Amino acid sequence: MKKVVAFKVLLVLALTLASTSCKKSSSSKNSSRATGWQINSREGGFQYNTDFREQETAPGLVFIEGGTFTKGRVQDDVMHDWNNSPTQQHVQSFYMDETEVTNAMYMEYLDWIKRVYPPAEENFRAIYHGALPDTLVWRNRLGFNEVMTENYLRHPGYGEYPVVGVSWIQAVEFANWRSDRVNEYNLEKAGYLKRDAKVTDVNAESTFSTDTYINAPTLTYGGNEEVINGEKRNKRYVRTDADGNESNIYATRETGIISPKYRLPTETEWEYAALGLSEIRNYNLYRGRKKYPWDGQYTRSEKRKVRGDQLANFKQGKGDYGGIAGWSDDGADITNAVKSYAPNDFGLYDMAGNVAEWVADVYRPIIDSEFNDFNYYRGNVYTKNALNEDGTVKVVTADDIVYDTLPNGKVIARNLPGEIAQVPIDENETYLRTNFDRSDEINFRDGDKRSSRYYESFNDDYEGEGGEKKESDTRKMYNSPKHRVTRDSLGNIIREYDKGNNRTSLINDEVRVYKGGSWKDREYWLDPAQRRYFPQDMATDYIGFRCAMSRVGSKSKSRNKTKN
């Protein structure tokens, strides 16, 4: 009997200890493991989202789990470009648009710009005109393509077709705009911003910028407190002082509500995503012997139900852009609606064919994998927020807009009202650093005397209209033409062409990589390893783009769920 009683006592004690342990475990997420203090206390202290589990997939994107792969081409290089030699690379997990940006998506962007910055006002006219795609790219000296020139961008018949005529610069600006609109919606949905403010309370002097909201939230929407102070804020993050006044009423990165920015994918990300190596993991694919975004070595389907159908939209042969009428090889003569062909294993559509796509990288013939083989990217230009004399961030107003005249004569806005002005980093950020030492790192280890032993002396002097010298002798690996376009006091374009006869390259810091074949390309260019370049301020009828977004947190979604 005594043994039974003793056993019961031990059992009760064990259950009590277990209960206590469980309570401590369940409440530990809101108490600091560093100090023991309470987190997210309404009386003050550290505010942090301890319930965050997973980055929410933003509109239009699909998840791409990162990994290692062979970037570049290990098959025959019949064009003898020698600019895509195979290198082993590792890509961090990220998100990418499942389709190219469509005409309808871009028209939404143009509509917002027209409403907020009316082109009828002289001060804003260049903003709207600078965002317009170049519809004249469809014209051909010996072809009749006026139906596309007049209709392709705006007619609903082409609404779900990929937008073209967009330069690299315009694609970057679209991604920036998209970031702000998505975060604006997220904050409204969470109650931090007034409902429907994104439509009813926006004008040139009162806009939303993600960076401005993070760094100076009271200056967002032109300082309109009615909009900034939402009606249904998550009270968990609101502090109350001794007098009962609320503080910390703005969302911060610690809340997990503000999403990373949309951007163009890097070349390495794009190629990795196009190959779609998520499901089929065998030695040949890992070593870079997958030729297309789909399985197999041919452009036609081998599945019984659709055997013989083309798997992408590309030029079949000379004078053959879509097959015989009534029985089309790929279902299109120019571009085709997105999602017209099967996706790859990541769920991405048209990673070969339809339109080629801009990526973020500045073009160079080599990939310097010896220096870096993780998230490889060439094109870093580091900036920081400009500050006023009192130390506050400088927010751009309608009078502070800076316009750039591009080499092709087009005028674009470098910044927009509501954004934080940016300046290059200086020695305060680079002093004694080993990972970077200047603002512009585009030419690092390739392009100037400082970074390469193999450089040549090029005389960059050229004569202007009056015969005067325009530039002193410099030493570079790439000596592309130096055209100059400026405007006089009346706004007239002054063009100065580089007439030098010693130019040997078109490569410079303003040419960007584009990837993937298009409706206008032969099968050879469908290989994701292929890479070409084009000036960042110019556009064509066969280059479009899609956006990407970095992932924060765990590499794998499934592992993150298991862990939690």
Tell me the pLDDT tens digit for each residue of 172-221.
Answer: 999 999 999 999 999 999 888 888 888 887 888 889 999 999 999 999 99
Percentage of the chain modeled with pLDDT above 70: 81
Write the pLDDT tens digit of every residue in 494-550: 888 888 887 878 888 999 999 999 999 999 899 999 999 999 999 999 999 999 999
The pLDDT value given to residue 204? 87
The pLDDT value given to residue 429? 93
Write the pLDDT tens digit of every residue in 365-414: 888 888 999 999 999 999 999 999 999 999 999 888 988 888 888 889 99
**In this model, does residue 8 exceed pLDDT 90?**
no
Mean pLDDT within 78-107: 91
pLDDT band at 485 (very low <50, low <70, confident <90, very high): confident
The pLDDT value given to residue 123? 86
Contact (CB, 8 A) for 232 and 191: yes
Which of the listed ranges 24-33, 233-242, 449-458, 530-539 does the model predict with the highest average pLDDT? 530-539
The pTM for the full model equals: 0.88
Lowest mean pLDDT of 75-89, 236-250, 284-298, name the range.
236-250
Buried b (16+ CB within 10 A) or exposed e, 340-376: bbebbebebbbbbbbbbbbbbbbbbbebebeeebeeb
pLDDT band at 116 (very low <50, low <70, confident <90, very high): very high
The pLDDT value given to residue 241? 54
Lowest mean pLDDT of 15-29, 73-87, 101-115, name the range.
15-29
The pLDDT value given to residue 448? 57
The pLDDT value given to residue 469? 47
The pLDDT value given to residue 24? 45
pLDDT band at 228 (very low <50, low <70, confident <90, very high): confident
Lowest mean pLDDT of 118-132, 317-331, 372-386, 520-534, name the range.
317-331
**In this model, does residue 260 exceed pLDDT 60?**
yes
DSSP H helical ranges for 76-196: 103-116, 125-131, 146-151, 168-189
The pLDDT value given to residue 477? 63
Rounded Cα distance between 537 and 414, Å, is 13
Mean pLDDT within 283-309: 69
Write the pLDDT tens digit of every residue in 11-59: 555 555 555 544 444 446 788 888 888 887 766 677 788 888 889 999 9
Rounded Cα distance between 146 and 497, Å, is 30
Residue type, 233: R
Which of the listed ranges 454-458, 460-464, 504-508 does the model predict with the highest average pLDDT? 504-508
Residue type, 223: G
| Strand runs labelled E in 24-124 | 61-64, 67-71, 87-91, 94-97
Residue 469, burial from CB neighbour count under 10 angstroms (0-12, 13-18, 19+): exposed
Given CA atoms 354, 359, 363, 365 in this order, what sign does their dihedral have? negative
Between helices 103-116 and 168-189, what is the axis angle to 10°? 80
Q: How many CA atoms lie within 13 A of 279 on its CB side?
A: 9
| CB-CB neighbours of 422 under 10 Å | 17
The pLDDT value given to residue 31? 86
Average pLDDT, the chain: 84
pLDDT band at 290 (very low <50, low <70, confident <90, very high): confident
**In this model, does residue 470 exceed pLDDT 60?**
no
Angle at 532 between CA 531 and CA 535, to 5 degrees: 140
Given CA atoms 447, 452, 457, 461 in this order, what sign does their dihedral have? positive
**In this model, does residue 110 exceed pLDDT 60?**
yes
The pLDDT value given to residue 495? 83
Which of the listed ranges 262-271, 324-333, 437-446 does the model predict with the highest average pLDDT? 262-271
The pLDDT value given to residue 38? 85
Q: Which residues contact 469 (CB under 8 A, 6 or more apart)?
A: 461, 462, 463
Total residues found in the chain within this entry: 564
pLDDT band at 136 (very low <50, low <70, confident <90, very high): very high
